[in-house]
Chain A
Amino acid sequence: SQQGEEDPQALSIQEGENATMNCSYKTSINNLQWYRQNSGRGLVHLILIRSNEREKHSGRLRVTLDTSKKSSSLLITASRAADTASYFCATARMDTGRRALTFGSGTRLQVQP
């Protein structure tokens, strides 16, 4: 089963607006990461937040993590048409020590120019 589930599955906004995507997961984690995938391309790492962190910023990206609720959110501020892509959360589990990531089902973001 998917470790992470993104919400919403699809999001359409106008350029300049903010986009918020949510991710829920099921097990204890070491860290949570967000990746972007443009159509027909590989995934690109955006940001990593560790289990002892609550919020992290990188440019126009803001990520929050609530380990008590097992959830995370990704906020993209002042969106641009170039932000159009699918966004995935990925978790690194703590219990097994595995380095592998478990990916959610993704949110498809469409930014209208």
Chain B
Amino acid sequence: DAGVIQSPRHEVTEMGQEVTLRCKPISGHDYLFWYRQTMMRGLELLIYFNNNVPIDDSGMPEDRFSAKMPNASFSTLKIQPSEPRDSAVYFCASSPESDTQYFGPGTRLTVL
């Protein structure tokens, strides 16, 4: 298996622009997680899905952030409008029924 795939790997955008991050989980995994990592706040859970259904979005910072999982093999995290404080590395992870999570390589987002 190719592992969790994220795109793009790097994104540089200007404040106010819409940003869409994409994730393809490992086939057969029922859970998908979106995390954000910054130096100041460490690794934070934003939202997670079970069988394509959002279960917990309490970590989504504000209404500018939205996440979807239209099918078992694809998820998006959208920020609209983006702000400089959104600059971070965004990780997607997937998990089978066990508790182990498998992380993607991350998307490094820079908002100017």
Contact = CB atoms under 8 A, between A and B. Distances in A.
Interface of A: 2, 30-31, 33, 35, 41-45, 48, 88, 92, 98-106
- Which residue of A30, A101, A106 has the most chain B CB atoms within 10 A of its CB atom? A101
Interface residues of B, number: 23
Contacts of B100: 33, 45, 48
Contacts, number: 51
B43 A88 contact: yes
Contacts of B45: 100-102
B112 interface: no
A89 to B, nearest CB: 11
A9 B44 CA distance: 18
Nearest to A46: B100
A98 B93 CA distance: 15
B101 A41 contact: no
B50 interface: yes
Contacts of B104: 42
B23 to A, nearest CB: 11
